[in-house]
């Protein structure tokens, strides 16, 4: 009697453990329980086809009915599918040969081995379903920011757990150099990748990926989240410095100012999250020459030669501008190359060329993102190739020679003088 009670309790415990698995919905739980019972019965009797089951997870039991055909007492060949007439009449006295008998079976009577087999089968299926649930939860979230609690810290990685207790991994190489975590810390990171080898999903997080900075910007700058400003490119050296190229399709919005905010108010929180990583925000342009010039800020370029085929650029600067272009530890020029996609070589101008009035000029083609191309073509037809050549002529002369409206000329000159404002001040 004690053994039967123990086996029944064990079976109820099996149901209770399964019910605690929150990642599995009710319908799936019922199906898995039924499959598990059928699997055990099939192993015991060779087949489960003649069994009907009603699973009651709430009650912690399963009603099992075995269907057998009544045969004469001496004609039973398969006890699992056939029942003798005398045995059938013990269930109901009016049974006759050829009729079907449906008999309820108490699974706990199958014995300890059957219940143990059931528990093992359920444990295997639960683990499989949990793995599927974890993979399905994160497979489409690559690039999204998640918050998780640090559970364990090792030398080369840390383990975190999300709000459902799922384990996440962040390798040392994906942590910002200034990161230092203790157990219990809440960490924000981006989902970097999801591996699912042998149906054993592993979720990897990153705080060094450009996407992490992208998501932080979207959270802090409403214009980016609303689509008024687009982050076109990001280049990062985590924990040190980053360059962000932004673009606005609304002339009323200055993208750089909107992203940075008044006195950097909109990026303060991001800088703290990135362990004081310096952020340079620049205007994006499809013009490679102008884009490289902006990417090398705060240095002022005197001249630039682009090799489109080899994706390289030779940049010429005055001696005092070289160190600004390279930056501390070479960070500025490295990031400029990363964000523009060009291999940038810096050349120092010869001293005798420093005061040459022709140096520091910019070709008109470099302003196509701010000035209509037909305006530039009209000026080039009149022999104007560079900005300084245009700036040296009166607005009236330009309008007459190139057949332009004065308003168009005024806009052109405003753009050109703005580009050389620093040089003119010097």
- Do the domain assignments include residue 182? yes
Do 107 and 169 lie in one domain? The reply is no
- Give the model's pLDDT for residue 23: 59
Residue 393 contacts residue 413 (beta carbons within 8 Å): no
- Do the domain assignments include residue 141? no
Q: Which residue has the tokens 């299926």?
A: 125
Residue 133 contacts residue 23 (beta carbons within 8 Å): yes
- Structural domains in the chain (count): 5
Cα–Cα distance, 263 to 266 (Å, whole number): 8
Do 45 and 101 lie in one domain? The reply is yes
Do 184 and 75 lie in one domain? The reply is no
- Give the model's pLDDT for residue 354: 41
Residue 11 contacts residue 107 (beta carbons within 8 Å): yes
Do 28 and 59 lie in one domain? The reply is yes
Q: Identify the domain boundary among 257, 278, 299.
A: 278
Query: Residue 186: phi, psi to the nearest 5?
Result: -95, 125
- Number of neighbouring beta carbons within 10 Å of residue 149: 16
| DSSP reduced 3-state for 352 | helix
Q: Identify the domain boundary among 260, 278, 296.
A: 278
Q: In the Cβ-directed half-sphere of 98, how many Cα atoms lie within 13 Å?
A: 0
| DSSP reduced 3-state for 181 | coil
Q: How far is CA 57 from the centre of its chain?
A: 37
Residue 267 contacts residue 231 (beta carbons within 8 Å): no
- Do the domain assignments include residue 28? yes
Question: Which domain covers residue 252, as residue numbers?
Answer: 209-278
Do 188 and 299 lie in one domain? The reply is no
- Give the model's pLDDT for residue 357: 45
Do 420 and 369 lie in one domain? The reply is yes
Do 251 and 334 lie in one domain? The reply is no
- Do the domain assignments include residue 104? yes
Consecutive sets of 10 residues in the chain, 426 residues long: mean pLDDT of each?
A: 42 55 66 80 83 73 84 88 88 88 78 77 80 88 94 94 92 94 95 90 95 94 91 95 92 87 87 93 91 90 88 89 88 95 86 48 79 83 77 80 84 82 51
Do 69 and 116 lie in one domain? The reply is yes
- Do the domain assignments include residue 196? yes
Q: Is the pTM of this model over 0.75?
A: no
Q: What is the CATH number of the domain that holds 252?
A: 3.30.300.20
In which region does residue 41 sit, left (phi positive, over 0), alpha (psi from -120 to 50) or beta (all else)?
A: alpha
Bridge partners, 312 (sequence order): 307, 343
How far does the chain reach from its first CA to its final CA, in angstroms?
Answer: 102
């Amino acid at each position: 009697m004690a053994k039967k009670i123990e086996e029944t309790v064990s079976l109820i415990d099996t149901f209770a453990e399964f019910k605690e698995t929150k990642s599995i919905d009710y319908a799936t739980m019922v199906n898995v329980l039924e499959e598990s019972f059928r699997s055990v019965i099939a192993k015991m009797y060779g087949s489960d086809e003649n069994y009907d089951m009603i699973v009651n997870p709430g009650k912690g039991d399963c009603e099992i009915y075995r269907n057998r055909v009544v045969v004469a007492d001496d004609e039973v060949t398969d006890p699992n599918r056939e029942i003798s007439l005398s045995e059938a009449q013990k269930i109901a006295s009016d049974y006759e040969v050829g009729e079907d008998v449906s008999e309820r079976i108490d699974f706990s009577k199958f014995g300890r081995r059957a219940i143990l087999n059931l528990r093992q089968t359920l444990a295997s299926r639960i683990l499989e379903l949990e793995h599927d649930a974890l993979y399905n939860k994160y497979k489409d979230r690559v690039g999204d920011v998640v918050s998780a609690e640090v559970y364990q810290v090792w030398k080369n990685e840390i383990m975190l757990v999300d709000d459902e207790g799922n384990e996440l991994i962040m390798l040392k190489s994906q942590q910002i150099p200034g990161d230092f975590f203790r157990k219990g810390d809440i960490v924000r990171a981006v989902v970097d990748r999801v591996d699912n080898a042998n149906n054993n999903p592993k979720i990897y997080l990153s705080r060094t990926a450009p996407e992490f900075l992208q998501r932080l910007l979207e959270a802090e700058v409403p214009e980016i989240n609303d689509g008024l400003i687009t982050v076109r490119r990001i280049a990062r050296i985590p924990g040190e410095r980053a360059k962000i190229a932004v673009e606005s399709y609304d002339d009323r919005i200055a993208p750089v100012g909107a992203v940075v905010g008044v006195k950097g108010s909109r990026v303060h929180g991001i800088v703290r999250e990135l362990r004081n990583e310096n952020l340079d925000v620049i205007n994006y342009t499809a013009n490679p020459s102008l884009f490289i010039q902006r990417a090398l800020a705060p240095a002022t370029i005197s001249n630039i030669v682009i090799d489109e085929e080899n994706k390289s650029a030779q940049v010429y600067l005055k001696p005092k501008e070289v160190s600004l272009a390279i930056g501390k530890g070479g960070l500025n020029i490295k990031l400029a190359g990363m964000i523009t996609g060009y291999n940038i070589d810096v050349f120092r101008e010869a001293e005798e060329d420093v005061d040459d009035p022709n140096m520091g000029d910019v070709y008109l083609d470099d302003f196509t993102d701010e000035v209509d191309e037909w305006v530039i073509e009209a000026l080039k037809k009149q022999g104007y190739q560079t900005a300084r050549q245009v700036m040296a002529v009166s607005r009236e002369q330009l309008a007459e020679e190139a057949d332009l409206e004065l308003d168009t000329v005024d806009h052109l000159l405003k753009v050109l003088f703005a580009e050389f404002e620093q040089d003119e001040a010097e």
